[in-house]
Chain A
């Protein structure tokens, strides 16, 4: 123990010695009289308190004082944000930012406001001088003088050398393709904020919040947004539609192509349309997106839904016969057939002759409630939501009675957005999967994960068979393009004029699927009041106009969107039907309706 204590003693001695020398130092430096020490300590403490108080006070003052850099932040907020590029499914640019110069002023820093007004209006002749003087007179840190000036004007403003007047680079949105795909793209305003379409959707994804908080996203941080559209197919579709609308003197028209397995909208056009580079045009109510915002009675294309419902319930099958003798009376109403056969028709005949009576009977066989439930399941009674902010509520009869079910069975009395109808028909075609359409690129796995199967696979195949049969021998022969194994259905709805259905004002629709055995694309064309022409024998029903246009579209777009033509009809295109004992489905059909 003692051995251990010894070194410790030595250490303590050492420490005592050094502290003594320090004490001597202090002793020389300050008097050590105890009575004088306390006030001195207090004095020193006060001194430090004041020093630190001053620092704190200055900090608080600086914190409350308006930041001299606010002017810059105001600039950053006012300047158009950069937006991500929008590209089509193949990477073609649909919307992009280019830099333009804008002139701004800081009124507080302007020396002579009148002189500045005079000089600026001399360089920028389209700026109103009185209004500019007012703006410069405002007690603001930042005002715009003129946005998006030409390079020449920019140089002139620069050479004026006015203090408090500056130039800043802004982003301007350009749409190189003009009206092609305009309804999907929407547009951005002068502040580069999305106002409509996908542009607005992009802002909704957090871009606008970031910008308002003062974080200007750098253009290189923004990933391009890939749409489902194919710009070439969209152009071809719009071109053919435009020709059709002009040829048949229709008031308006729209067409779309959808991938039935992914719900991607490959092409969409609605005429008349607008150029998103001139946003004011878009405000014209005649320029709405008729596919998504307009609601229409879809006419006979709705029969596909009725027949699918009846087949899926198991109450009828492809061999069932329905009485279509004469008109079907309900109270004081009478339902007629356009291509009246006046005999019992089989289910395929009901479809190919487009028999109103037959489909009305099928719907009645199910009853009002089941019919309603089926249409709800198919998404026809509620508003369909896609990425596009514009959408429309379907017009559903308030008191849905038996008569409503009978008329809705053949597409009168329920108005839906055409894209909504496409969603339902694509579910009928793709094996029964209810996939909400999308305008963004997506894979089949993503599209089919978690979606509801609304009808049986057999029913879906039966519907494809009926569509194909209709293109072979029925009302949809106009789309029977060699090699694509197309199926189709016409729809002609009479428009309601002054509360009555008009015989002369028609709304025609045409739905086509290709290829029918392994469905890939669904085509829809709608036309508002197309006119009968001498070469159509004066007829203005769907087959002559919408059907013809759809045929042209398929022919032209097929190679673009990768539809491989086949030279021999597929062997056994409908295997499930064959297994169920409908061998006739796999044999080429003969006979049938005239058109």
Chain B
């Protein structure tokens, strides 16, 4: 019995020693990996710094202007008079699709189609159009409510 216990103790000792050493070697291996990775990170971040500096150098306005002058001969800098306000834009042209107009003729037209008209009348027509757009919605809602009732 005692001998058996001794045996177990020896095995346990060897086992724990092996385990301890594995842990130790793993630790130093990991430490090495960390050190290596740190160096890699440093190299990378240095490289990034160089690339950033190089990017800033390549995209410096002076160089871009030179290149633009060289290659974009037909393009000119934006002038203030090229900008226009939204109000100054012409009105949207009337939609001219055949199917839409046919549907209108048949009286099935979705009234969202802006009717052909002169700009002076636009506002009133837009408002009437919006009214007609809302109309079907209310109808369907009513239908839904009716369906729910029973």
Contact = CB atoms under 8 A, between A and B. Distances in A.
A57 interface: no
A178 interface: yes
Interface string A511-543: 000000000000000000000000000000000
B46 interface: yes
B65 interface: yes
B150 interface: no
Interface in A533-557: 555-556
B149 interface: no
Interface stretch (A92-100, A398-406, A449-457, A487-495): A92-100
Interface residues of B, number: 23
B80 A482 contact: yes
Interface string B85-125: 10010000000000000000000000000000000000000
Nearest to B81: A482
Contacts of A483: 80-81, 83
A219 B49 contact: yes
A92 B56 contact: yes
Q: Classify the interface of chain A: helix, strand, loop or mixed.
A: mixed
Interface residues of A, number: 30
A96 B49 contact: yes
Given A219-B45, A567-B85, A176 B57 contact: yes
A227 interface: no
Contacts of A465: none
B78 interface: yes
A93 B53 contact: yes
Contacts of A558: 80
Interface string B45-85: 11001101111110011100100000000000111110111
Contacts of B52: 93, 96
Contacts of A220: 45
B61 A232 contact: yes
A554 to B, nearest CB: 9
Contacts of A169: 46
Given A232-B61, A482-B81, 4 more contacts: A94-B56, A177-B57, A231-B61, A565-B83
Closest 8 A/B residue pairs (Cβ) = A235-B61, A176-B56, A176-B57, A93-B56, A96-B53, A99-B46, A565-B80, A177-B60
30 contacts: A92-B56, A93-B52, A93-B55, A94-B56, A96-B52, A96-B56, A97-B49, A98-B46, A98-B49, A98-B50, A99-B50, A174-B53, A176-B57, A176-B60, A177-B56, A177-B60, A177-B61, A177-B62, A178-B62, A180-B60, A219-B45, A219-B49, A235-B61, A235-B65, A239-B65, A483-B80, A484-B80, A559-B78, A565-B80, A567-B85
Interface of B: 45-46, 49-50, 52-57, 60-62, 65, 77-81, 83-85, 88
